[in-house]
Amino acid sequence: MSWQHGLFRLWLLGTAAWMILWAVMVSMVCHLLPDGKMTCRTVSNHWVAEWIDRTTWSYFKIGLVGFSLPAAVLVCGVVVVWAASRRS
């Protein structure tokens, strides 16, 4: 097994863990509104935050934020592998 395949497998495991944690976090801090959007707490360090610091998210925005970190890590990994292969 090459180190590129090992890094890809590590990325797959990290992405799976991130998606599970992201889904759990969204289910804990977001609530569905009648119009189909979700209201989510943005600050969780004080009880007042439940009444003040809320934002409305669409499913697209939740998915975009959820997939952006794994996509960025994948792009960085591809660049590192490409740079390492060009160097040798």
- H or E element, residue 20: helix 3-29
pLDDT band at 53, cuts 50/70/90? low
pTM of the model: 0.71
Q: What is the model's pLDDT at position 88?
A: 61
Residue 60 structural domain: 3-87
Q: Give the chain's domain count.
A: 1
For residue 38, the cross-strand partners are 32, 57
Q: What is the model's pLDDT at position 34?
A: 81
- pLDDT for 52 beyond 70: no
* pLDDT single digits (tens) 10-48: 999 999 999 998 888 888 777 777 877 777 766 555 554
